[in-house]
Amino acid sequence: MNLDPIPNQDDILLELFARYLDKSLAPDEMDALNWALQQSPQTRALFVDFCTQATMVKETVAADQPETASAPEPVIFPQPGLVSWLIPASLICCLLLIWTLTPTQESTPQLVESSQVPEQVEMEPVYTYSIWDHYEGKELAHLSPQTASLLLIPAIPQPGWFPDPEQLLRTALMEATLSAPSPRLIIASEYFWSVPSDEIDWMQLSFLNSQPEYQYYPPSL
Amino acid sequence: MTADAVARTLLEDRLRFTGYIRALVIDNHAAEDIFQDTCVKAIARAETFETEKDALTWSRTVARNQSIDLIRSRQRKDYFLSEETLALLAEQEPQEAPRGSVDQLRALEACLKQLTPKTREVIRLRYGQNLAGAEVAIRLQRKAATVYKTLARAYSQLRNCMEHRLNSGL
């Protein structure tokens, strides 16, 4: 006789978590999940870890198969005077930012009450474009002095990615240069931590350092 | 802290951070948006943080509150976790220091290859093609419950494998 093993509590919880992320829990099951999460820190830790792993798996698997039903065709950005670029669906992203504000002098950070939003930092509009935007078919907008902010950063370069991260950086900076006289741009990139420096084409990247109005992260760039 | 230091701290914690937000809002895109927005805000006030923990704690609070606002603005409020649960999750201290997302992704990539072909196919359809569990079940002619069991077991296998690889420096 072939009997299934009796599932232990963690197995039941993990299935519940998987269905929660799938948005397929019935109301009474949702109540059960809430109840379970309120019972022990261990369950909450398991829950957050499960969701974290799901996020990582999604990034990794998505990077392995750019041609999926849910991923749109690569977006082409025609730029007069510029090269058109394909943003690869396989890039693992981390896209950051630019801001045009000087950091404000504020008091020591404080935790706020659970339902209160921390005091809002006055910011000028920030434009960001991530790999998820790409999956949704959104086109990369032209940068402007007011909203300049852009970055597409793959965490782990892999064979077959096109264009490579250095090309993406150059495109982003050319955009910023053409559209804004002196945008202040911050680039944060896991890429530069993941690739040995001798594998980066520093000659091609050297022009970055010739534009002091940009700020880069890591600053050693 | 400097803006650079805050950026680096948040990026190193990115996977755990977005995983936490995703647990709240059940939406990858929204989680990425909230993370990026939180980064911008945290960097803008970098000088007010004395330690990495200050920056992470403040950022988690900002992200959690943005998540709550997002949940409140959605129609299917009944599906999301209760605010009591959200508050408890926010108090949850990470059990491990961030390992760096690059190392984690490399370990995960290797561990995924060790799963059985059937499990990898379930993962590919569920996460790679973003199909719901029920759709994966139809595609593979299995029961939905079997798909969820497979995903749950894959989690445990991947976690054990990644711990082994990261701890042994593979």
For every residue of A151-189, which 3-state class applies, written as one string?
A: CCCCCCCCCCCCCCHHHHHHHHHHHHHHHCCCCCEEEEC
A25: region left, alpha or beta (phi > 0 left; psi from -120 to 50 alpha): beta
pLDDT per residue rounded down to tens, chain B (170 residues): 888 788 778 877 888 888 888 888 888 778 888 888 888 888 888 889 998 888 988 898 888 888 888 887 776 666 788 888 888 887 776 666 555 666 777 888 889 989 999 999 999 999 888 888 899 999 999 988 899 999 999 998 998 998 888 888 76
Q: Is A104 on the interface with B (CB under 8 A)?
A: yes
Q: Do A111 and B46 touch (CB under 8 A)?
A: no
Cβ within 8 Å, pair B127-A126 = no
Cα–Cα distance for residue pair B55/B61, rounded to 1 Å: 10
CA–CA distance, A136 with B71 (Å, rounded to integer)? 21
Is the ipTM beyond the 0.90 threshold? no
Maximum separation of any 2 CA atoms in chain A, in Å: 76
SS (H, E, C) chain B: CCHHHHHHHHHHCHHHHHHHHHHHHCCHHHHHHHHHHHHHHHHHCHHHCCCHHHHHHHHHHHHHHHHHHHHHHCCCHHHCCCHHHHHHHHHCCCCCCCCCHHHHHHHHHHHHCCCCHHHHHHHHHHHHCCCCHHHHHHHHCCCHHHHHHHHHHHHHHHHHHHHHHHHHCC
Peptide bond into A157 cis (omega under 30): no
Contact A34 B82 (CB under 8 A): yes
On chain B, the residues whose CB falls within 8 A of the CB of A33 are 81
3-state secondary structure (DSSP) of residue A214: strand
DSSP symbols for A27-49: HHHHHHHHHHHHH-HHHHHHHHH
Distance (Å) from the alpha carbon of B121 to chain A's nearest alpha carbon: 10
Q: Is A76 helix (H, G, I), strand (E, B) or coil?
A: strand
DSSP label at A103? Answer: P
Three-state secondary structure string covering B93-137: CCCCCCCCHHHHHHHHHHHHCCCCHHHHHHHHHHHHCCCCHHHHH
Given an 8 Å threshold on Cβ–Cβ distance, is A56 in contact with B22? no
CA distances from A216 to A95, A153, A189, B43, B90 (A): 13, 13, 9, 13, 31
**Which positions in chain B touch A56 (Cβ < 8 Å)?**
15, 19, 104-105, 108
Q: What is the pTM of this model?
A: 0.59
Contacts of B49 in chain A (CB under 8 A): 109
Residues of A in contact with B23 (CB under 8 A): 47-48, 51-52
| pLDDT score at B135 | 92
Question: How far is A57 from A63, CA to CA, in rounded Å?
Answer: 10
> Which member of A38, A60, A193 has the closest CB to residue B112?
A60
Residues 16-45, chain B: which have Cβ within 8 Å of A? 16, 18-20, 22-23, 26, 28-29, 31-33, 36-37, 39-41, 43-45
Measured between CB atoms, which of A30, A53, A132 is closest to B79? Answer: A30
Whether A158 and chain B come into contact, CB under 8 Å, resolves to: no
Q: Is B159 on the interface with A (CB under 8 A)?
A: yes
Q: What is the pLDDT of residues A152-198, one digit of tens each?
A: 343 334 444 444 455 555 555 555 444 444 333 444 444 444 444 44
User: Which among A53, A99, A188 has the least Cβ separation from residue B155?
Assistant: A53
